[in-house]
Chains A and B, each alone.
Chain A
């Protein structure tokens, strides 16, 4: 029994040492890990995804606060399980943003579609896209222009709420309306 305890203690010490070593590395955001790894900032392809100082280079890292008056401050449309139908509060929120986009030709939004964690990941990318497209169609029908809207689906990959019950799942089935800068950022 005492042998078991001292084994556990040795392991605990090793794990603690490892944890200390890892936390020391944690502050480095773009870690290519030597010759064998890439960073999500490689070459000319992506925006500086792992570089916290990236500002509007390529990609779409030009999010702005956007309009805040009344319903426009609400940026999330929620959905029922397995559904991409806009209902309830979502209808009013979408209407408000459609009206704003219709009257501000330079305004642009990115619609980000999400699902809860249940089911297969790539299929959930499809479901998140369906939700984003539902919001997009509703905006277009109510006066927004096609050029003002882009979409992305994160499926279940970017939950808003941790947790594995219906309370968390309901918060994750959503489309986020993100306002983007009116002029495309220039690369330095």
Chain B
């Protein structure tokens, strides 16, 4: 039985990734693959670090993050409030609205991007609108399903204590559905980050997607790989952060038992009020820094290879 602490297990686990990194370094070095197509791993890392200075990577990073957080906040506000009001006070209407909402959520966000760009122009509003549209559907659906699956006893107990609708919503319903909402937020962030990169590729003055697209346009392989790496790492970190948040907030959740694998029980950090306040401060910080960077980006002007020859506001 292979145990987690076994050296052989450890070596096998890193063999895949290590093999790939080694190949990445060696294949271009010995010119088996042209370095135009696959630059050396060290070149890519070097370019990545350089991009912080030459191409102002920090600005693009914070702008992208800022857009995601902004869109997420708006979508969460609309989605959660709409979901709670619809599902708690008009359950039958919600049931019949379900097909309509499903159809609307299936509308391809990519196809809506030009619509939003035509509506809002090539500015921040269009990108935030796309993120909001994409985020709203998972949040709305999960809120509605959360309300539907509320333990009726909780509601009945609260009603027997004669509480009004506001207290009902904020003290009973919201805490009970918070887990579902969080799942919706997680799904929303994943998809919307994805869409944001696409949206920035189609028309933006700053952002990680723009970096990638410009590099692709000029066939600058190290930058393509480096910005791709940044995008992937950012996506993965966002996801892992949300999972960490979820495990910390809902620390009572037990992992489904995987019958055949031996798992060491992980120590999860319980997130209490001080930690949450710290996270909230970080978010506000990102919003603040992001908005400054966005202003800076807009002052710097249009991107060098604009597809759209429209005039901006």
Q: Do A and B bind each other?
A: no
| B interface residues (Cβ-Cβ under 8 A, vs A) | none
